[in-house]
Structure 1
């Protein structure tokens, strides 16, 4: 490892960061500040584009510190180079040469490199082993030639052997040069295959589970979007949003599953499942929150302009909503995004006959210990037919 290799790796980290920022918006642009869910999304993108993975520990070791004091293994360097758009680590360095820096295709490999090549190729299926040990055999042959020449009594006898050995050595030189030039390419190919298999191991060994949700009181599908947080040990929670009537599909190779389920109209529910003998499909009942459900029902109920019906609707909302409730309306545009309403403005809005009320949807609703609604966040979706 040279100081130039460290500088090249710092360049590569910036290229990896730039590649990720083309499609994603993490908490910080600087890759050294990423943590939690940002790292998880980066690992997913790395698996998708480079067919490989790096552990969270490796990310903290090599990306949180700058500059690093040591280089990662060659397989990780190749993986990150492929993610950044290059064929290999060598190709990346080749395209980012510093002033006066030279990269030699035929530079001699040291003993550690040869041992690493030999180890990788020996463990890879259907690859020749003899070529890897060729250099050591040639060195041994050369040593024998020196010993033979030092024995003056045997020189005349083995003269023809020396000629044959020299001829064989000259024939093997192209092979030796070929191995030197293509050793890292061979290693890269093997490692790409191995990292590809590692990248897909989660898919190969994982199992998919299906969870559907029903209203416990009505026996029907839920009427509001569900938020599901999957909790994994030592990892940030992963949030999923499930639309009404849809089921939740989750693939994992873990033995346990912990989910936190929440919705504006249903009581919070935490699910813990041992997956060793769990069924592939399961129906989960959610208990509706009657106060929240009633507030939503009276908000969208059509009074048809009947004064008596409108009066009953207002009275119901008056009793369900706290006088100090915090209410926000969310808009579907970039100019005017949110507006705060008090209790009376909200009641006036939902008791004024208009066709747009059928598009009212509650994003969030909270109540106090006495059952009074203290917070509402809602939106009225744009409907082109009503314009």
Structure 2
């Protein structure tokens, strides 16, 4: 390698850059500034036009620094020369001679010195063998012919019979090998099939169960969001959210199913199913919860108009009938100052029947009923805890 070779390589990099800019618009025109997606597109174009590839590491080694102190391998130089429109690295140099530079075939031989020497040595080693073997083959038949003419003809018959025997036995061996190959192919096919069954056993053996939900009073599909918790032994519950009017699809290979169903306006319901004899499609009725419906109504409505006072009185009376006079009502705070606060029945009803934006963030943590009456409520409002 000479300093002129390094200068030629710098020329080649400019030609490669110019070739790429004919069809593409990278982030930068200078090839030394290319990175990421620009290098990927260049590698793809190189594979397409020159039927070869260079690694990202090689790109950074030879294109990111200029001038380079080390010349790439001859195969990479040929590849880049082809991409730039030349037959080889040698032809590229021949078309870019510097003043006073003499380019001879010896330089091309120097680049491929190791490969050429290997070919020369291997051919030199093979030539004597090929020349001697025919000479032996030519002399041996002549000696045999002389011996056969001077000896009895029976000798030739014995030799022919000995040669014919192995020709009858030779077809037997391939037949045995063919049987072995057939057996191995069949065993491999069975093994691959078993692996496929094991890999997709869940998809093969599982079933998909569909559960739709209707309002028990109206016999119409539920038009509220539904939350479903699937409970499994020794596992954390899995939560699913079902949009209004949609059904719950649950693929499983288990034999039992336990679900806890809840909604903003319906009573909580726990469903247990033995899937060995359960139908794959089922409709589940949800019973409206008067308390939840009253609170939900005030959380999304602004009471305005002529009948607003009458409507509020109606909802207050509905809650008074649902909540026991001795109910324990607790508001929860996450604040360091306030942890819990107890409310009486009337104060709580006033809170949930006064249309405010805070009601949209009211979350009932726990509620208990006894004999049709609410005896315990624990709730929190997220806006309150943010302000504290």
| Same fold? TM cut 0.5 | no
Structure-1-length-normalised TM-score: 0.37
Higher relative contact order (CA 8 A, sep 6+): 1
Answer with 1 or 2: which has the greater Rg.
2
TM-score by length of 2: 0.37
Q: Where is the helix percentage greater, Structure 1 or Structure 2?
A: 2
